[in-house]
A = this chain, B = another copy of it.
Amino acid sequence: MNRSDAGSPSSTTREALLDAAESLFAERGVESTSVRDITKAAGANLGAVNYHFRSKDLLILEVFARRLRPLNQQRLAGLDELEATQIVPSLEEILRALIRPTVEDETSGKRRTDEFMRLISRSFQESNEELKTFMSGEFDEIIKRFDAAILRAVPGLVKEELFWRMTFLFGALHHGLERWTRFESMPIPPGLDPAHLRPDIEGFIQRFITFAAAGMRAAAAL
């Protein structure tokens, strides 16, 4: 930590670009965000993105990787801890380990920003092919570990059924977070009191886990 100027660990411009891009991607998506928008928001010059990341596509990958990797590490750490203290953790505890890091940074104890949550939700929806491939890779370990834990926690649930239920679960989570984080700007059905309708984030997680756990435990139809 001595060298204060020369070759400082990752230039501040680089970080500024990532931050600006992240914010814009979360709000409008990667397609609707131009390199010009990013450099302007970061207070950098137009050439900066290509200098630091070689192309817009590589910047996109880096923006998502920077957030998704630690997030998934925290998910796995949470499951490790759970399995270290209990033989068979409950389904609700497992789901909480999966979801909580989306909402709170467990290394710092700090609440995630709405922007962060929107970025994560969006990472599932972006049509960028390279991004999808990267995401799937990052997700493999998560799915493997959590699937195994859930199968132990829910007797009678079979792998094929779980595959589709996990798909439903992530769709529900990300659409729910999208709605929760944008609550103010979205219309709500008539007859509901807006002030009373939106729980705090803990309430949201609780509601989600209740819904998802019940879905996971449902008796298979056929």
Flag if B206 contacts A221 (CB, 8 Å).
yes
The yes or no answer to A3 lying at the interface (CB within 8 A) is no
Whether B28 and A197, one on each chain, are in contact in the complex, defined by CB atoms closer than 8 angstroms, is no
For the side of the interface on A, what is the size category?
35 or more
Whether B179 contacts A211 by the Cβ 8 Å rule is no
Known: A124-B175, A175-B168. A140 touches B215 (CB 8 A): no
Contact of A217 among B164, B207, B208, B214 (CB under 8 A): B214
A189 touches B143 (CB 8 A): yes
> Which residues of A are interface residues toward B (Cβ below 8 A)?
28-29, 31-32, 124-125, 127, 136, 140, 143-144, 147, 159-161, 163-165, 167-176, 178-179, 186-192, 196-197, 199, 203-204, 206-215, 217-222
